[in-house]
Amino acid sequence: MKTHTYILTAGLLLAMGLMYFACKEEIKSDTADDEPISEEDIKRDTTTNPTFMTISDIHLDDAVPEVSYGCDTGTELWTAAQSKFISLVKKKNPGFILYLGDLPVHHGDSCLKKVVPSDSISDKIHGDIGQVLAGLRTIADSTNVPLLYLPGNNDGYGGDYASFSYIKANDTITPFTLDTLGTKDWPIIKGTKPDSYFQREGNATLGYYAAYPLGKDTTRTANLKVLMLNTVILSARYVSDDNINIYTAAQDQFDWMGKQLAKAKANKEKVILGMHIPPGLDGYSGTDMFWRNSPADTLKNGHTYVNEFVTLVDAHKDEITGILTSHTHMDELKRVFNKNNELIELCISTPGITVNHGNNPGMKVFEYDTNSYELLDYTTSYAQSDQGTFTFDNSQTYTFNSTYGGCSGAKTMLECISSISSDPTTAGRKAVVDLMEENYNVRHNVPATYNYPIGLDVLPNM
């Protein structure tokens, strides 16, 4: 639903005021972003496709202001990112926002170690978790756009790759208990949207759930369901602090995912899958898998984790319209193939706000088809550094369609990549990798720290 200009402007003023108190510092934004919405903006919004937004991997280190490449997000970059996110909400009018995991500074961040004693790092990280959640919740409440959160591998109370829930005596600690504004509404901040928008179906201990971010409407051709997965559970580095066996947790999530997809098919719904750690090969190491894949790491049906995932996606490729990931901090995609070597889906990443891996900060706005919910395009907005200050400029954007040549005749992003190459061999992979390379570091002209040509594809035999 489109909002009258004067209501939207008032909402923005409220947003800026609330963000001031949440962050305890003034949010400064680009001059162009502070301008009121023009008639051209309104006209564009009524003619373009509907949108949603994604942001990920903030990795806040509030002990430092400015940061350089190789360090996590300082307070100045976090302030700039919040301001940019609000300005994009203003201009793009998204239906919902997805946060794809990782809130606090890394335990081993080099900038953190310079200013915080080692015995205080855990308490420092817990504070960062709460501060980022408070900021995200303020954005969602003040703009009245629902925001859905899923766990990242640095979000567990017990440390990196720890379980979503931490059982301490009779207390259960999750990232949400660290929200400094004390909300009980996580993992979904719904603003003033009614409860009917959301389906509280999932596992609150393990941190995965389903939701209808646009609500249920019987007049639609189909409703959109989002499955927010906790793929940290599937990592080889996963640590259970919730008294649940790691293999039981993985089995439970896959069982739940299968049931949710079956329900979606029966109800003629469309599905977006959200996750932090993607399937497939870790391009950083060049040899390791992101998910467990040793002979011991199999499910009850004998499938590996990746094999089960691909099997479910293949069985429900008519329902699934997109797979959204993060974790690597880069702007990349992975092609998903079934056992017949057919390209069935794309895993599309959202880059990090942190510059820990030598990338520039970025965030995405996705466009989708009104009836089918197929993903049509995205726009990545990013910041660049000027002597340690990262600035989001309105000119610093690029789209999927411009990157991959517009794919003449293709309507969706999957069709576009299929038209470039649907060949899972090394030669077929290269055609896509060559185009992805320009944006991989988010338009930052330094060598990638990942071997992304190796990590591009997800195959059922992994």
The tens digit of pLDDT for each residue in 222-257 reads 999 999 999 999 999 999 999 999 999 999 999 999
- The residue whose two tokens read 């979904």 is 188
116 has pLDDT over 90: no
194 has pLDDT over 80: no
Cα 145 from chain centroid (whole Å): 16
Query: What are the structural domains of the chain?
Result: 5-458 (3.60.21.10)
Cα 154 from chain centroid (whole Å): 14
Rounded Cα distance, 401 and 404, in Å: 5
**pLDDT-derived band at 409, boundaries 50, 70, 90:** confident
Straight-line distance from the first to the last Cα atom of the chain, in angstroms, rounded to the nearest whole number: 43
Burial of residue 157 (number of CB atoms within 10 Å: 0-12, 13-18, 19+): buried
Whether the upstream peptide bond of residue 187 has omega within 30° of 0, thus cis, is: yes
Q: Give the residue, 350 or 2, on which the prediction is more confident.
A: 350
3-state secondary structure of 5: helix
40 has pLDDT over 60: no
Six token digits for residue 137: 């919740």
3-state secondary structure of 385: strand
Please state the φ and ψ torsions of residue 310, each to the nearest 5 degrees. Answer: -65, -40
Give the angle 437-441-442 at the CA atoms, nearest 5°.
Answer: 100
- Any residues with CB less than 8 A from the CB of 45 and at least 6 apart, and which? 2, 91, 92, 93
Given this model, what pLDDT does residue 235 score? Answer: 97
For 175-227, give the DSSP string. Answer: GGGG-TT--S-TTEE-TT--GGG---EEETTTTEEEE-TT---TTSS--EEEE
Burial of residue 139 (number of CB atoms within 10 Å: 0-12, 13-18, 19+): buried
- Average pLDDT over the chain, rounded to an integer: 86
- Own/partner pairs for 208-215, CB < 8 Å, 24+ apart? 208/150, 208/253, 208/256, 210/260, 211/148, 213/52, 213/95, 213/96, 213/146, 213/148, 214/95, 214/96
Given this model, what pLDDT does residue 242 score? Answer: 95
Instruction: Answer whether 197's CB lies under 8 Å from 212's CB.
Output: yes
86 has pLDDT over 70: yes
Given this model, what pLDDT does residue 63 score? Answer: 87
23 has pLDDT over 60: no
Instruction: Answer whether 100's CB lies under 8 Å from 54's CB.
Output: yes
Q: Which residue type, as a one-letter code, is found at position 334? A: K
Strand partners, 202: 209
The tens digit of pLDDT for each residue in 277-330 reads 999 999 888 889 999 999 889 999 999 999 999 999 999 999 999 999 999 999
